[in-house]
Structure 1
Amino acid sequence: MRLLFIGDVIGRAGRAAILQDLPRLKSAWSLDCIIINGENAAGGFGITESICTDFLDAGADCITLGNHAFDQREALVFITRQPRLIRPLNYPSGTPGGGAALVETQKGERVLVINVLGRIFMDALDDPFAAVERELSVCPLGAACDAIVVDFHAEASSEKQAFAHVVDGRVSLVVGSHTHVPTADHQILPHGTAYMTDAGMTGDYDSVIGMDKAEPMRRFVTKLPGSRMEPAGGQATLCGVAVETDGQGLATRVAPVRLGGRLAQTWPDFWDDRNRS
């Protein structure tokens, strides 16, 4: 199975990259399942129903969120009627929406997508390790599903790495999101789980983690409150990670994806991409 995870989409620039590139990539790479982290898609803070629909129409199979899941208050309502939009699994009981989705591909394969929020340097939620263990016990790889992708939305690299080793061999991919900076540690762990500490953002990298530079620079220099931060509007780099799995749902190949914008370009050379411009 061919899986693509795309990191945090930031504002209008990130959305434009998704709508422009995703249909082409889905066809060129014969992708079976595409997952997008969309928690910063609406002006850098949260997601709206129209944006969610646009991403699904462009070819996304599931959209994950994070600590900005409900910054757009309408998400509290529409998430309950959109099963392919998921918020972190370890939000308290009673939070609208779900933290996992079982997506069926066009080939009839089942992909379990889990979104979970870390606790180091983040708001303290329920234990992410225990929450995922409960989900995996209900829907184990190879029995109830053909692949499992975990979006671990967290600050600390150590927390993401520790989690990946705990579930190694039981999920197809653990990928970090939230820091908006792509890491260079993509690998397949000893028991067959693909891992990358952070997929990076899909946004303008001539910025401060996706935001127009002026306001964050002013805040760091003066330590004074100011105006609302706004997403940078230059050309975005689409960032993520590509994974291929075997018949048991474990990873056989993994590669980073960086297309367009300012960053050095890279994509999975083990997939035929003759349509790349």
Structure 2
Amino acid sequence: MNLLFLGDLVGRAGRDVVVERLPGLRRDLGVDFVVANVENAAGGFGITQKLLNELFAAGVDCATTGNHVWDQKETVAFIGSEPRLLRPQNFPAGTPGKGAGLFQTGRGKKVLVANFMGRLFMDPLDDPFAAAEALLKTYRLGGNVDAILFDIHAEATSEKMAFGHFVDGRASCVVGTHTHVPTADHMILEHKTAYQSDAGMCGDYDSVIGMEKSLPVLRFTRKLPTERLSPAAGPGTMCGVLVETDDSTGLARRIAPVRVGGKLDQTLPKFTATA
């Protein structure tokens, strides 16, 4: 099975490149299931139902989030009735929505997707390691699910790496989000879980992590408050990770970065279909 994970969508540039490029990419790479982090999709802050529906229509199967999940007030009202939109699993009990979902591909394969948020330099939520452990007691690769994909939305690379090793052999892939810059450490861990510290973003890279450049520069150089940041509006790059899993075990066979459009060097996986 081929799983495509897309990094944080930032503003219109991120949405446009996904809507334009994803349908062809799904076809050309033989993608069975697509997950995208959408927490910056609405003007850089949160997600709306309208924008979410546009992404689903373009081929996104499941949407994850992170610390900006509640930035649009309407999200609290609709997240409970939209199982394809996840908030971090390690929010306290009683938080609206769900942090994990079980989905079925067009070929009838069952895919568990779960979203976690780190705690280093982030809001102090519940323990993401304990939250993952609880899920893995219920869902087992090669047993009641065919693939497990975890989005670890975190600031610290060390926390993401530790999380990947913690679930190694029990998840198909662990992909980091939040820092908006694609890392070069895509690999298969010792026990066959695919891993990358950050998928990068879908957005305009002629920016400061997706935001128009001038105001962030002023914040660093003048140390004065500025107006609200706005997403850069140039051509977007779609950044993500493609993982091929073994249908018999659910563990990873191969992982490769995806970068299409915009300013970054382009790269596509050399494998295009599940064996």
Which TM bucket (shorter chain)? Answer: over 0.9
Alignment partner of 1:239: what SS? strand
Alignment partner of 1:63: what SS? strand
Does residue 269 of the first structure (1) align with residue 270 of the second (2)? yes
| Runs (5+) with no aligned partner, structure 2 | none
Deviation at 1:30, TM superposition (A): 1.5
Identity of aligned residues (%): 58
CA separation in 1, counterparts of 2:249 and 2:215? 48
Does residue 154 of the first structure (1) align with residue 154 of the second (2)? yes
Alignment partner of 2:9: what SS? coil
CA separation in 2, counterparts of 1:27 and 1:265? 18
CA separation in 2, counterparts of 1:55 and 1:103? 17
Does residue 249 of the first structure (1) align with residue 242 of the second (2)? no
> Which residue pairs with 1:46 in the alignment?
46
> Which residue pairs with 1:18 in the alignment?
18
> Which residue pairs with 1:228 in the alignment?
228
The range that moved more, 132-141 or 63-72, is 132-141
Structure 1 length-normalised TM: 0.97
Does residue 183 of the first structure (1) align with residue 197 of the second (2)? no
Deviation at 1:37, TM superposition (A): 0.3
CA separation in 1, counterparts of 2:22 and 2:181? 20
Deviation at 1:27, TM superposition (A): 1.2
State the one-letter code of the partner of 1:170.
Answer: R
Alignment partner of 2:70: what SS? coil
Q: How does 1:194-205 map to 2 (within 5 A)?
A: 194-205=194-205
**Displaced runs of 4 or more, over 3 A:** none
CA separation in 1, counterparts of 2:141 and 2:88? 20
> Which residue pairs with 1:173 in the alignment?
173
Deviation at 1:50, TM superposition (A): 0.5
CA RMSD, 1 decimal: 0.7
> Which residue pairs with 1:5 in the alignment?
5
Q: How does 1:207-226 map to 2 (within 5 A)?
A: 207-226=207-226
Q: How does 1:62-211 map to 2 (within 5 A)?
A: 62-211=62-211
Deviation at 1:55, TM superposition (A): 0.9
State the one-letter code of the partner of 2:91.
Answer: Y
CA separation in 1, counterparts of 2:90 and 2:42? 23
CA separation in 2, counterparts of 1:226 and 1:198? 28
Deviation at 1:97, TM superposition (A): 0.3
Alignment partner of 1:85: what SS? coil
CA separation in 1, counterparts of 2:52 and 2:78? 10
Deviation at 1:29, TM superposition (A): 1.3
Deviation at 1:43, TM superposition (A): 0.3
Alignment partner of 1:231: what SS? coil
CA separation in 2, counterparts of 1:86 and 1:142? 24
State the one-letter code of the partner of 1:163.
Answer: F
Alignment partner of 2:45: what SS? coil
CA separation in 1, counterparts of 2:140 and 2:34? 20
The aligned length equals 272
User: 1:133-173 CA distances to partner (integer Å, 9 max, x unpaired)?
Assistant: 10111111111100000000000000000111111000000
State the one-letter code of the partner of 1:172.
Answer: S
> Which residue pairs with 1:260 in the alignment?
261
State the one-letter code of the partner of 1:269.
Answer: K
CA separation in 1, counterparts of 2:254 and 2:201? 22
User: 1:39-76 CA distances to partner (integer Å, 9 max, x unpaired)?
Assistant: 00000000000111111111111000000001001000
CA separation in 2, counterparts of 1:34 and 1:115? 14
> Which residue pairs with 1:275 in the alignment?
none
- Asked if the contact 2:258–2:267 (Cα under 8 Å) also holds between the matched residues in 1, the reply is yes
- Asked if the contact 2:29–2:271 (Cα under 8 Å) also holds between the matched residues in 1, the reply is no
CA separation in 1, counterparts of 2:20 and 2:50? 16
